[in-house]
Chain A
Amino acid sequence: MSQSVTRTGSLRARSFDPLILLWIALALILIFLVVNPLFRLVQSSLEEVDTGAFTLMNYVTAFSRPRYLTAMWNSIRLGAMVTVLCLIFAVPMAWAISRTDMPGKGLIRVLVLGAFITPPYLGAIGWILLAGPNSGWLNRVFISLTGASEGIFDIYTFNGLAFVIAIYSFPFIFIFTAAALDVVSSEMEDAANVLGAGTLRTTWLITLPMVLPAIMAGAIVTFLEAIALFGTPALIAIPARFNVVTTQLLQFFSTPIRSEVAAAYAVPLLLITVVLFGLQRWMVRRRGFVALTGKGGERRITELGPWRWAMFGYSLFVMSLAVILPYIVLAQAALSKAWGRGFTWANITLKNFEYILFEHETAAQSVVNSFTYAAAAAMIAIVLGLAIAYIVSRKLLPYAGVLSFLAMAPFVIPGIVLAIAFYSAYAPPPFALYGTATILILAFATRFLPIGFANADAAIRSINPEMEEAVRILGGGRLLAIRKVMAPLMKRSLIGAWLLIFIPATRELSSAMFLYGPNTRTMSVMLMDMSEEGNFEHLAALGFLLLAATLVIVGLATALLGRDFMLRRERQ
């Protein structure tokens, strides 16, 4: 597309556009953040450690020991089981909220958001308190009700792990399904009604098939989340004496560090993710998914009659497993001298918070670290994303598409793989960044760059280029147009995008776990460290600080950006 650049002073056609410099700078940054780490990951998996000679031995080591293969198999089983559980949790709720007259929709929505923003490892700690063998609250209630000699719940099992992961992953399927249901016009259902199909048959033959691709897409995301998750397996699988891919990867990093084997072991995880995300995109875009609605895409709710209370009961039950019960026991532990002594006045204390904030050597520092790193990473991701999106959407330069591809690439890199890739690329000299704040911030920024890019891209595309052209025809330059017109118009969505990065970045664990140093612990790392000490009161107190901060930020964002800003589906 040709744009004639005519400015006063130089009336020549464009010979050199300063934007080319920006393009080059962005390309270099993306090479540093995305290309080089991945390249180094693959390279180091193919090298002998000492000589640097080409070898396949790392792969042989990674895939010959039965225990390593068992860990892989466990991850796949885990992903499948989590996905099935999430479908059971999420699909009925999404349908009830999107299409029926179920009461308490607002409450359930808030609770789903609660589950979504709860760091999974924090939920896992809550569930250890709830369903730890014998001492867990659910077991104690069971024992006191039945007089049995021991409890029936044991979170330290494979099923327990799958359950705890599922209860915090189902919002993915919920969001996808609800979004798809929201665009199915009621007329589609009316059309079946009028031809003689009742409510049940219509739901089964018309509504569900139309949202099936979205449900499948959500299921794939859930599966990938489950196999890439590090915190929850570390808290539950390790004490239960089995490994999944992510915990096995951590063990390659305990002395003697064998990062080259870890790299080889991580490559399949990367490939699975890339393939499944490709499949997911294909499904969402597949012919026939886009609901054809012209005018009159009105949506009405299905009246459930008395069943609406049953549906509400089910939703509340799921949400109490995800949010209500774990939050209660975490709050109790955080405010207790000893959590096992139960809910009594004598047991209440603020000592745990005092200890975390003022007495513990590094805990207070970790709180500061988490928030500064997250803020810096969010800022970098947004600025980068915005610059790339601008060049891409205005098609200012050839090959701009390459930039957008690279900016979206981290989306398909599991956090733990990204961390190992950063480790391979920047831990050794000449960079020697291992353990520094810089490497953590850069890793976070890279991990969340796709969110920054996708949001900035959407924001820019929503603004008609004529807005900008109107400035330029009146004699304003491109920068003036950006400053005076584009930036003010995009302010709201960019703040929203910043928060969408900041919130998950404050709780990011899997990439921090492999890159932190003694002074650069984040809260998430701190929580994992403390869980090894087994002091749940302190752990809960720190977790509560994280949650409270998150809630305040989400509350502010909700006030600023509207209720659904996080549960909206951002990408196709």
Chain B
Amino acid sequence: MSKLSLIGLGKSFGKTPAVVDVDLTLQEGEFVSLLGPSGCGKTTTLRMIAGFIKPTAGTIEMSGQVMSSPSLVVAPEKRGMSMIFQSYAIWPNMTVGQNVAFGLKLRKLPTTEINKRVDKILDTVQMLHLKERYPAELSGGQQQRVALARAIVIEPAVLLLDEPLSNLDANLREEMRTEIRRLHDEFKITTVYVTHDQAEAMVTSDRIVVMNHGRIEQVDDPVTLYTVPKTRFVAGFIGRTNFLDGRVEGNQIVFPGFTVPADLAPDAKSLPRDASFSVRPQTIAIQRTAPTSTDRIWWVQGKVTERAYLGEYWEYGVRPADSDIRMRVSTPPTDMYQIDESVWLGIDPARSARVPAPGKTV
């Protein structure tokens, strides 16, 4: 059953559009991320879901009931949601326990029940021993856990998270994103998570919504999103990639400096005249010797122009012969090549994705 639906949702501030025509449906218990660069409209979308911002177009429905539309907004306090803020917004005048109990008190639960639930959730987030502390005495990660506990304890219909990890340092961020997913697996709360960090989105989410300039670029599970990006933006934003922009001429595709057989390409039958592909650096094979077999690989000869050692892998820049493009290739740390060395690159068309040509949308 669909829990939360955004239908043709839009928001303009004055004449500036912030969110344009967003359609999205979340199933009960699903974890969905809104991912995109700053200013892409993801936070505005989240705040519309929360009821802090009134949309200028479209509607938001929860369990079939209209929550927001340009003419009607159900107040945030009437939605039964909860939210985790960038600043955590832990109230400094209340103890950890009081912060967590706040939502339960508003729901007029009996005191014993409140205590029981507060203790249970604090135990779950490993904060029970700090129940009587004030927020000023807590570290960033601990405050984050209090925010999580405060949001989850009321068992909200929908949980909203607004870049909750952006104030933490790198190690803690990795720990907390796993923690967030763990809590989701435990409580199965329908969740919308806003972030600009692709790793966070991929670790936590069932599906990821990639947004750019206020529009949805693609909605998919992490694997599909990475392996079959539908737009150049998605291909470039999620992970590193090479774009190959070519022209179809007969049964060949002509790229700058080299030509390959068209029948190997993905969607080979419906290739437009201008055909572009996204090729991940680690899917490209690299070797010194000329290829022997005519396997289903596009082989290109080139020269190593630059290299960088990143510990977990080597990253090479290779310029195909007679070409001015540069391909990024990554290899295991044991595969060493010298600058100016001649190499063969093997591009596997089956592992690359067709994307719209520059300036086109399809």
B89 touches A295 (CB 8 A): no
B154 touches A195 (CB 8 A): yes
Within A200-231, the residues touching B (CB, 8 Å) are 201, 205-206, 209-210, 212
One of A187, A212, A288 near B135 (C-beta < 8 A) = A288
A210 touches B92 (CB 8 A): yes
List 24 A–B pairs whose Cβ atoms lie within 8 Å, in order of A's numbering.
A187-B89, A191-B91, A192-B102, A193-B76, A193-B77, A194-B50, A194-B81, A195-B103, A196-B77, A196-B78, A196-B106, A196-B107, A197-B102, A197-B106, A201-B106, A209-B93, A288-B136, A289-B93, A290-B136, A292-B136, A294-B87, A294-B167, A295-B87, A297-B87
Interface centre among B50, B85, B102 (most CB of A within 10 A): B85
B88 touches A294 (CB 8 A): yes
A286 to chain B, nearest CB (A): 10
B positions within 8 Å CB-CB of A: 50, 52, 75-83, 85-93, 102-103, 106-107, 134-137, 140, 143, 150, 154, 160, 162-163, 166-167
A296 touches B86 (CB 8 A): yes
Assess whether A368 is interfacial by the CB under 8 Å rule.
no
Task: Tell me the nearest residue of chain A to B167, going by C-beta.
Answer: A294
B92 touches A288 (CB 8 A): yes
A210 touches B166 (CB 8 A): no
Assess whether A468 is interfacial by the CB under 8 Å rule.
no
B312 to chain A, nearest CB (A): 30
Determine the chain A residues whose CB is within 8 A of the CB of B88 once the complex forms.
292, 294
Task: Tell me the nearest residue of chain A to B53, going by C-beta.
Answer: A300
A195 touches B77 (CB 8 A): yes
Determine the chain A residues whose CB is within 8 A of the CB of B134 once the complex forms.
287-288
Determine the chain A residues whose CB is within 8 A of the CB of B137 once the complex forms.
287
Contacts known (A206-B91, A288-B136, A291-B92); A196 close to B143, Cβ less than 8 A: no
> Is chain A's interface secondary structure helix, strand, loop, or mixed overall?
loop
Please count the residue pairs between chain A and chain B whose beta carbons lie under 8 angstroms apart in the complex. Answer: 96
A195 touches B82 (CB 8 A): yes
Determine the chain B residues whose CB is within 8 A of the CB of A287 once the complex forms.
134, 136-137
Assess whether A545 is interfacial by the CB under 8 Å rule.
no
B212 to chain A, nearest CB (A): 21
A296 touches B87 (CB 8 A): yes
Task: Tell me the nearest residue of chain B to A192, going by C-beta.
Answer: B102
Assess whether A143 is interfacial by the CB under 8 Å rule.
no
> Is chain B's interface secondary structure helix, strand, loop, or mixed overall?
loop
A198 to chain B, nearest CB (A): 5
Assess whether A188 is interfacial by the CB under 8 Å rule.
yes
Q: How far is the CA of A212 from the CA of B92 in the complex (A)?
A: 12
Task: Tell me the nearest residue of chain A to B153, going by C-beta.
Answer: A195
Assess whether A185 is interfacial by the CB under 8 Å rule.
yes
One of A191, A197, A201, A290 near B89 (C-beta < 8 A) = A191
Q: How far is the CA of A188 from the CA of B90 in the complex (A)?
A: 7
One of A193, A196, A292 near B92 (C-beta < 8 A) = A292
Assess whether A190 is interfacial by the CB under 8 Å rule.
yes
A134 to chain B, nearest CB (A): 51
Assess whether A293 is interfacial by the CB under 8 Å rule.
yes
Task: Tell me the nearest residue of chain A to B137, going by C-beta.
Answer: A287
B166 touches A295 (CB 8 A): yes
Determine the chain B residues whose CB is within 8 A of the CB of A290 once the complex forms.
92, 136
A190 touches B52 (CB 8 A): yes
Interface centre among A198, A210, A294 (most CB of B within 10 A): A294
Interface centre among A188, A190, A191, A209 (most CB of B within 10 A): A191
Determine the chain B residues whose CB is within 8 A of the CB of A210 once the complex forms.
91-93
B77 touches A187 (CB 8 A): no
B281 to chain A, nearest CB (A): 32
Determine the chain B residues whose CB is within 8 A of the CB of A196 once the complex forms.
77-78, 80, 103, 106-107, 154
B75 touches A198 (CB 8 A): yes
The 7 closest A-B pairs by CB, nearest first: A296-B86, A195-B103, A187-B89, A191-B89, A294-B167, A187-B85, A193-B76
Task: Tell me the nearest residue of chain A to B76, going by C-beta.
Answer: A193
Q: How far is the CA of A187 from the CA of B162 in the complex (A)?
A: 11
Q: How far is the CA of A185 from the CA of B50 in the complex (A)?
A: 17
Q: How far is the CA of A297 from the CA of B166 in the complex (A)?
A: 13
B247 to chain A, nearest CB (A): 46
Within A249-303, the residues touching B (CB, 8 Å) are 287-297
Q: How far is the CA of A514 from the CA of B130 in the complex (A)?
A: 57
Task: Tell me the nearest residue of chain A to B160, going by C-beta.
Answer: A194
Contacts known (A288-B136, A296-B87); A195 close to B93, Cβ less than 8 A: no
One of A185, A194, A201, A205 near B82 (C-beta < 8 A) = A194
Q: How far is the CA of A291 from the CA of B135 in the complex (A)?
A: 10
A296 touches B136 (CB 8 A): no
Determine the chain B residues whose CB is within 8 A of the CB of A185 once the complex forms.
87, 89
Determine the chain B residues whose CB is within 8 A of the CB of A294 once the complex forms.
86-88, 140, 167
Determine the chain B residues whose CB is within 8 A of the CB of A205 once the complex forms.
102
B336 to chain A, nearest CB (A): 42
A292 touches B87 (CB 8 A): yes
One of B50, B79, B83, B92 near A289 (C-beta < 8 A) = B92
Determine the chain A residues whose CB is within 8 A of the CB of B135 once the complex forms.
288, 292
Task: Tell me the nearest residue of chain A to B86, going by C-beta.
Answer: A296
Q: How far is the CA of A294 from the CA of B89 in the complex (A)?
A: 9
A296 touches B102 (CB 8 A): no
A191 touches B93 (CB 8 A): no
One of B83, B107, B140 near A191 (C-beta < 8 A) = B83
Q: How far is the CA of A137 from the CA of B183 in the complex (A)?
A: 71
Contacts known (A196-B106, A197-B77, A292-B143); A190 close to B89, Cβ less than 8 A: yes
Q: How far is the CA of A221 from the CA of B166 in the complex (A)?
A: 40
Determine the chain A residues whose CB is within 8 A of the CB of B75 once the complex forms.
193, 198
B77 touches A296 (CB 8 A): no
A296 touches B92 (CB 8 A): no
Contacts known (A190-B76, A206-B91, A290-B92); A295 close to B103, Cβ less than 8 A: no
Q: How far is the CA of A289 from the CA of B50 in the complex (A)?
A: 28
One of A190, A195, A289 near B102 (C-beta < 8 A) = A195
B83 touches A190 (CB 8 A): yes
One of B81, B91, B160 near A188 (C-beta < 8 A) = B91
Known A-B contacts: A196-B80, A197-B77. Give 18 more (CB < 8 A). Answer: A185-B87, A190-B83, A191-B85, A191-B150, A192-B91, A192-B102, A193-B75, A194-B76, A194-B160, A195-B82, A195-B103, A209-B93, A210-B92, A288-B93, A290-B136, A291-B92, A292-B88, A294-B88
A268 to chain B, nearest CB (A): 34
Determine the chain A residues whose CB is within 8 A of the CB of B154 once the complex forms.
195-196
B192 to chain A, nearest CB (A): 13
A290 to chain B, nearest CB (A): 6
Q: How far is the CA of A287 from the CA of B137 in the complex (A)?
A: 9
Interface centre among B79, B102, B167 (most CB of A within 10 A): B102
Determine the chain B residues whose CB is within 8 A of the CB of A212 once the complex forms.
93
A205 to chain B, nearest CB (A): 8
B76 touches A188 (CB 8 A): no
Determine the chain B residues whose CB is within 8 A of the CB of A201 once the complex forms.
106
Determine the chain B residues whose CB is within 8 A of the CB of A291 once the complex forms.
92
Task: Tell me the nearest residue of chain B to A201, going by C-beta.
Answer: B106
Q: How far is the CA of A201 from the CA of B88 in the complex (A)?
A: 20
Task: Tell me the nearest residue of chain A to B107, going by C-beta.
Answer: A196
B328 to chain A, nearest CB (A): 32
A195 touches B136 (CB 8 A): no
A503 to chain B, nearest CB (A): 35
A292 touches B106 (CB 8 A): no
Determine the chain B residues whose CB is within 8 A of the CB of A192 once the complex forms.
91, 102
Determine the chain A residues whose CB is within 8 A of the CB of B90 once the complex forms.
292
Q: How far is the CA of A290 from the CA of B107 in the complex (A)?
A: 29
B77 touches A198 (CB 8 A): yes
